[in-house]
Amino acid sequence: TTNWTLPDHPTLPKGKTVAVVVLDGWGEASPDQYNCIHVAQTPVMDSLKNGAPEKWRLVKAHGTAVGLPSDDDMGNSEVGHNALGAGRIFAQGAKLVDAALASGKIWEDEGFNYIKESFDKGTLHLIGLLSDGGVHSRLDQVQLIVKGASERGAKRIRLHILTDGRDVLDGSSVGFVETIENDLAQLREQGVDARIASGGGRMYVTMDRYENDWSVVKRGWDAQVLGEAPHKFQNALEAVKTLRAEPKANDQYLPPFVIVDESGKSVGPIVDGDAVVTFNFRADRMVMLAKALEFPDFDKFDRVRVPKIKYAGMLQYDGELKLPSKYLVSPPLIERTSGEYLVKNGVRTFACSETVKFGHVTFFWNGNRSGYFDETREEYVEIPSDSGITFNEQPKMKALEIAERTRDAILSGKFDQVRINLPNGDMVGHTGDIEATVVACKAADEAVKMVLDAVEQVGGIYLVTADHGNAEDMVKRNKAGQPMLDKSGSIQILTSHTLQPVPVAIGGPGLHPGVRFRSDIQTPGLANVAATVMNLHGFQAPADYETTLIEVVDK
Ligand code: 3PG
Ligand code: CO
């Protein structure tokens, strides 16, 4: 059993209000015209950076520092917030699936054996993001699952693909479809009836998150389960190419389509007796579909027909809800997070973001766990996000509203920690709209100001950081760092996250004057932040946490 009592910090006092601010998608990169944080007016973040050097530093937010397979993997919000909240580095979904495939354990475990029971009479459906972005899923893993399942008896396989263009370049969907179509063609030669059955863009079909807009999931359900969509094609490559050419269409927002046979009948609706695997390893954008597939009393939209299927997730997406109940690979077990420790040590906690990032500062922060640890000491506030728009249309998003609620929480005196996520740099950065991203960065900076002003008023402490880079670099670069051009000579917009480090800044009137960043930790990462925050609350971190970033010198 866990001893939840945290030892007192030898010098730092308790009882200060600590504001933990996470700027989503806010990395540090050299200043140029594609660095929206540099271009934007961000006086508050600038002043932190240009202030006392012992109060501002960079930490790693990508690759192995956050539990990803390699340092070529960009950071993302899931692994970033996991590391920030848990204070330790856990092997993450991408890596766990790689390992299970490499060892072959994936085929022996309960999840695969469960869906395998359907292979005799039913079809195996694979639903997920077709991309090598490595954030939600990876194409090479999908290829191995298709191959492995066919070798183990799947005779009829249907893929329901979601196109990316968000974690990878827009337009790359075409190449991914070609790759998987090649594999499927080879399987057909071997007598396996394997094809793509439906598709659509990830932001318009299926992959909504935190229940922002159920119509997105419904669109997917109609195509994948019912075999109905406004666009019908006989070939997926043609579908993607044709639909991409429509006005305003891109990989992220491709309208839903189904593949039909010569008679116009959809080739792969999901029916009784089939097996379904959702192959994303990341949870946030699969939870809603998993609920629709698995919850008997589901009522968020009319499912019309609910097939009796054997369903497994690539991972279990929510440990608390046990959703889905069957899965191919066990998720990282992230326990004893800093949030749970602090609450159990009396730290009254307020967490807030708008819908699209709400689960980041709650669910991901708390080790992929939904709900409160202790209702009497916690309040989580979700500001409703705009839905049905792309965020370059409203780049300020709800930053002001988040800041106002947080300011009020600080001034109320009811909380010892306020923890927030400001989504602008990331959500607008993902649209690839540079001008809008500049507006977004400014809005985030203004929100930081409001929070820091409140911290000032109550004599508190702040720690401002980010979960990964995005807005600081909006262009794809060659090895020499120069912007890359496409065939038509325009720059290649980078909608994805980056490999850049992120800032950590501390300060506020409540900060002990002797606190400064240590100079003896060479390459700290996001996981070092949790112990730091515990110190700011007057506690020492558990021994197995990554070490704190701060020390206290006599002053
Ligand atoms: C998304 O899900 O929007 C992107 O794939 C990753 O963005 P996030 O990690 O910042 O949520
Ligand atoms: Co992002």
Ligand 1 contacts CB of residue 251 (under 6 A) = no
Ligand 1 contacts CB of residue 208 (under 6 A) = no
Ligand 1: nearest atom to the Cα of 167: 5
Looking at the annotation, which residues are catalytic? 77
pLDDT number for residue 39: 98
Ligand 1 contacts CB of residue 167 (under 6 A) = yes
Ligand 1: nearest atom to the Cα of 25: 10
- What is the average pLDDT across 369-374? 95
pLDDT number for residue 121: 97
| Ligand nearest to C-alpha 202 | 1
Two tokens at 399? Answer: 């930053």
Under CATH, to which class is 24-91+334-552 assigned?
alpha beta
Two tokens at 216? Answer: 């997105």
Q: Phi and psi dihedrals of 18, rounded to 5? A: -115, 125
- For CATH 3.40.720.10, the residue range(s) in the chain are 24-91+334-552
Q: Is the pLDDT of residue 248 over 90?
A: no
**Would you tell me how many other CB atoms lie within 10 Å of the CB of residue 49?**
16
What CA–CA distance (Å, rounded) separates 82 from 486?
36
8 Å CB contact between 422 and 464: no
Return the bridge partners of 310, or none: 275
Helix axes 236-244, 173-189, angle to 10 degrees: 170
DSSP 8-state assignment for residue 6: P
List pLDDT tens digits, range 162-173. Answer: 999 999 999 999
* Beta carbons within 8 Å of 524's beta carbon, 6+ residues apart: 57, 59, 60, 546, 547, 549
Ligand 1: nearest atom to the Cα of 207: 2
List pLDDT tens digits, range 79-131. Answer: 999 999 999 999 999 999 999 999 999 999 999 999 999 999 999 999 999 99
pLDDT number for residue 427: 98
Ligand 1 contacts CB of residue 164 (under 6 A) = no
Q: Is the pLDDT of residue 201 over 90?
A: yes
| Ligand nearest to C-alpha 80 | 1
| Ligand nearest to C-alpha 62 | 1
- For CATH 3.40.1450.10, the residue range(s) in the chain are 94-329
H helical segments located in 167-246: 173-189, 214-221, 236-244
Q: Phi and psi dihedrals of 282, rounded to 5? A: -80, 145
* Among 497, 494, 499, 498, residue whose Cα is nearest residue 170: 494
pLDDT number for residue 555: 75
Ligand 1 contacts CB of residue 166 (under 6 A) = yes
**pTM of the predicted protein model:** 0.97
Two tokens at 120? Answer: 């005799």
ipTM metric = 0.99
CA of 427 to the centre of ligand 1 (A): 8
CA of 284 to the centre of ligand 1 (A): 9
Instruction: Indicate the length of the chain as a whole number.
Output: 555
Under CATH, to which class is 94-329 assigned?
alpha beta
Distances (CA, A) of 80 to 145, 230, 308, 528: 27, 38, 37, 11
